[in-house]
Amino acid sequence: MRLVNGVKVLTGLAAIAVVCSLAAAQSGKSNMSAADKKFVTAAAQGGIAEVKLGELATKNGASDSVKKFGQRMVDDHSKANDDLKQVATSKGITVPSDTDAKSKATMARLAKLHGAAFDAAYIKDMKMDHQHDIAEFSKESSSGQDPDIKAFAAKTLPVIKEHYSMISDMAKGKMSAKMSGKM
């Protein structure tokens, strides 16, 4: 530190340390890894898609089991979306407020279907989607870097597995007694 016109001025390493501290403070709380951020974005977009597709299932589905499953998706994924948003916000991350292009295309395709045709397509899409989600949530819950995001994935994974079991039973023509349960 030196004196310039009666004012103490930081020089060298001290100045660099102050600038780095200020930059870190301005960047928010997010020191999250790129993989964790990618997971948060994908989980948020997927959750929004599950809610919208669930709403569509309650309207366009033919069978009572598809309609009940659709409502279950709305209920469970709305709760998970809220939980994820809370964790992400505490980390200084803004979650997406809409789905990705692939999910929008799926919604557009399914929106044109009604009755048994809707049921078959919805069940097929939900089964594939939940297989993918199980893999992603398993990976994040075991190897995620951020402990809060990792805990969210671990907490949500059993519900996604239950959804997969339910939709698999529906694909086999079985009715699930778990249909009215909540997350």
pLDDT (tens digit per residue) in 45-103: 999 999 999 999 999 999 999 999 999 999 999 999 999 999 999 999 999 999 999 99
Do the Cβ atoms of 1 and 10 come closer than 8 Å?
yes
The H or E element that residue 95 is part of is none
CATH number of 33-180: 1.20.1260.10
Residue 30: which pLDDT band, with cuts at 50, 70 and 90?
A: low
Residue 144: which pLDDT band, with cuts at 50, 70 and 90?
A: very high
* Confidence check: pLDDT of 152 > 80: yes
Task: Identify the CA nearest to 48 among candidates 70, 78, 75, 72.
Answer: 78
What would the two tokens of residue 22 be? 């200020």
pLDDT for res 12: 56
pLDDT for res 177: 41
* Confidence check: pLDDT of 10 > 80: no
Contact residues for 168 (Cβ-Cβ < 8 A; gap 6+): 127
Each residue's pLDDT tens digit, 91-143: 999 999 999 999 999 999 999 999 999 999 999 999 999 999 999 999 999 99
pLDDT for res 20: 44
